[in-house]
Amino acid sequence: MKNKDPKLLLQSAPLLHQELTTPAAMKDVWIALFPATCAALWFFGLSALLIIIASIAGAVLTEWVFTDKEKRRFALSDTSAGLTGLLLGLTLPSGLPLWMAFLGGSVSIGLGKVIWGGLGANIFNPALLGRAFLLGTFPIAMTTWGPAGGPGEFFQIHSSNLALPFMQGHYDALSTATPLGLMKFEHQGTELVSLFMGNTAGSIGETSSLFLLLGGLFLLIRRSIDWRIPVAIFSTAALFSLIMLLTSSAESTTSYPSPFFTLFSGGLLLGTFFMATDPVTSPLTPKGCWIFGIGVGFLVVLIRLYGGLPEGMLYAILLMNAATPLIDRYTQPKIFGR
């Protein structure tokens, strides 16, 4: 080595990098969703599996089709498209025709991500945008809930799942109400234990609070998500529904749920841990995260109480997504020494 120089690189410092990479961060979310996905399969059987596969396929295929040829491998290598597909799948009812799930995944990525410029450039959470599309286009299919079964009924597939493309399908014996629906329209509560374990009707991935909490806790410990957003959403939603409960009059036609019911029913946990905390569509700044979380918590309770639909998480998050650029602008951190 004495007389010969190696070819020296001139890369500028820093030469050290921490180990976490963006694809690895995505892997954390996959791991965190594993318990909830297992619960979905346990309660909703093969139907749930087929829906998840259909929506992931829709998402990944769309990303593949709409990305430049040279960038395809790279774009798919971060697994974010598949993750969007899985998240969308978990928000769908078990009886949904598979082609709708596929179309939903496709819209999620196409209109929710690629059109904005790909990963990191979108304003709205892609999975929720896909769900909003499905809810607007197929309101009946999207609000017909299959009952939660057990492992014994694993291989029973809803016939509506297999509806031909662009056909609605028959909703055989499917019209169980979700806990939120029961609360809103029948003024009936649901036992907290059921909400916690997940043997209720609802979107396939949202019913089991226990497994969602496990996943959320994992993300918090790994510092994959900003802790401020879940804390803000939970405390605001709980506090606001408590205030509404305490100040409600007895003859009111609206039924006011307890804070616990608010937190553990519907898509609140799934939305909080896996969608509201999506870094791309939530604020950058710590103060912004608080405002964002408080906004989601407030809107979700408001929409659930007075909206036409029993669930409000979808629109609460999408509305706050829209406010995110503005929140970021007004919550810039105070610079050191200024």
Q: Which is nearer to another protein, 59 or 135 (CB)?
A: 59
In the list 118, 126, 267, 312, the residue contacting another protein (rule: CB under 8 A) is 118
Contact flag: residue 242 with another protein (CB under 8 A) = no
Task: Give me the half-sphere count of Cα atoms (radius 13 Å) on the Cβ side of residue 166.
Answer: 0
Helices assigned H by DSSP within the chain: 22-66, 72-77, 80-90, 98-112, 126-137, 139-142, 179-181, 192-197, 209-221, 228-247, 259-264, 268-271, 286-306, 313-330
On whether the CB atoms of residues 331 and 285 are closer than 8 A, the answer is: yes
- d(CA 191, CA 200) in angstroms, rounded, equals 10
Contact flag: residue 247 with another protein (CB under 8 A) = no
Contact flag: residue 121 with another protein (CB under 8 A) = yes
On whether the CB atoms of residues 268 and 262 are closer than 8 A, the answer is: yes
Contacts with another protein in 258-277 (CB under 8 A)?
none
Q: Which is nearer to another protein, 30 or 74 (CB)?
A: 74
**104, exposed or middle or buried, with CB in 10 Å at 0-12, 13-18, 19+?**
buried
Contact flag: residue 326 with another protein (CB under 8 A) = no
In the list 136, 166, 251, 338, the residue contacting another protein (rule: CB under 8 A) is 338
Contact flag: residue 70 with another protein (CB under 8 A) = no
Contact flag: residue 250 with another protein (CB under 8 A) = no
Contact flag: residue 63 with another protein (CB under 8 A) = no
State in angstroms the smallest separation of the CB of 281 from another protein. 8
In the list 119, 157, 210, 309, the residue contacting another protein (rule: CB under 8 A) is 119
- d(CA 90, CA 206) in angstroms, rounded, equals 7
Contact flag: residue 15 with another protein (CB under 8 A) = yes
Residue 154 phi/psi, 5-degree rounding, is: -55, -40
On whether the CB atoms of residues 300 and 237 are closer than 8 A, the answer is: yes
Both tokens of 206, joined, read 């949202």
In the list 8, 193, 246, 250, the residue contacting another protein (rule: CB under 8 A) is 8
In the list 35, 78, 159, 239, the residue contacting another protein (rule: CB under 8 A) is 78
Both tokens of 119, joined, read 């990963």
Contact flag: residue 325 with another protein (CB under 8 A) = no
Contact flag: residue 136 with another protein (CB under 8 A) = no
State in angstroms the smallest separation of the CB of 155 from another protein. 39
Contact flag: residue 69 with another protein (CB under 8 A) = no
Please name the amino acid found at residue 225. Answer: I
Contact flag: residue 31 with another protein (CB under 8 A) = no
Q: Which is nearer to another protein, 18 or 249 (CB)?
A: 18
Q: Examine residue 14 and say whether the peptide bond preceding it is cis (omega within 30 degrees of 0).
A: yes
Binding site for another protein (CB under 8 A): 1-2, 5-25, 74, 78, 118-121, 220-223, 226-227, 279-280, 282, 284-286, 332-338
